[in-house]
Structure 1
Amino acid sequence: MSSNDNGASDRDGFLVWVHTALYEAELALHNGNPAPRRALWSRNEPVSVLGAWRNANGQQELDELFAALGKSFSDCTSYTFELQAYDVVGDMAYTAGFEHTSASVDGQPRTYTLRATQVYRREDGRWRVAHRHGDTAAE
């Protein structure tokens, strides 16, 4: 197998993970359950979020942020991730795209789009999120 074949299978495997485990974790969060998202995040430093509503730096702030988001979100009627770009280089990867969400936020139905960029590390053979940047996309 050439190094290009290995890179292609790495990219393919990563993309499958993004469209299954990562997608399902984000959907669960928007229905009020932050546990699947937290399970996909790295337990190693550094971890960080530059969020649309709140920032976090380090494990404790990450736990607090995800718990608060879980309490605030409910009744997700639609969540799609429109992937714009991604790559895998060794044990690092990234995604960039648009998250289109319809869910209740603090009991009020909302529909919004976030621009989201995430950085991933492969740890013990599994992809883990290490950083997220999300902000509201201009209409």
Structure 2
Amino acid sequence: ARRFSACTAYRIEVVSHDVVGDMAYTACYEHISASVDGEARVYTLRATQTYRREDGEWRVVHRHGDLVQA
């Protein structure tokens, strides 16, 4: 987290999602403009998150993201 700062733009593009009972997932692209190690960058992550409903609230139980190579 210390490597990232000055996020100037963030947009999420949901590709797929589903809910089955108390489990859910999202698969998306995250389009980001931020500073990484002090250098301004624009990049896209392919991100998947899984969720579980606990005590009536959704909680992220796993997240995976990787850089989309242009």
Q: Which has the larger radius of gyration?
A: 1
The answer to whether 1:87 aligns with 2:26 is no
Q: Which runs of 5+ in 2 are unaligned?
A: none
The answer to whether 1:109 aligns with 2:46 is no
Higher relative contact order (CA 8 A, sep 6+): 2
Q: Which runs of 5+ in 1 are unaligned?
A: 1-68
Question: Which position in structure 2 is the counterpart of 1:125?
Answer: 56
Cα distance between partner residues in 2 of 1:113 and 1:94: 19
Cα distance between partner residues in 2 of 1:130 and 1:78: 26
Match of 1:98 among 29, 42, 47: 29
* Segments of 4+ moved more than 2 angstroms: none
- Report the TM-score, using the length of structure 2 for normalisation: 0.94
Give the 3-state SS of the residue equivalent to 1:138 in structure 2.
coil
Q: Percent identity?
A: 66
Letter in 1 for 2:67: T
Question: Which position in structure 2 is the counterpart of 1:58?
Answer: none
Aligned length: 70
Question: Which position in structure 2 is the counterpart of 1:137?
Answer: 68
Shift of 1:105: 1.0
Structure with a larger share of its residues in strand: 2
Cα distance between partner residues in 1 of 2:16 and 2:35: 28
Shift of 1:138: 2.6
Query: RMSD of the alignment, in Å?
Result: 0.8
Shift of 1:133: 1.1
Cα distance between partner residues in 1 of 2:31 and 2:19: 24
Structure with a larger share of its residues in helix: 1
Cα distance between partner residues in 2 of 1:85 and 1:132: 15
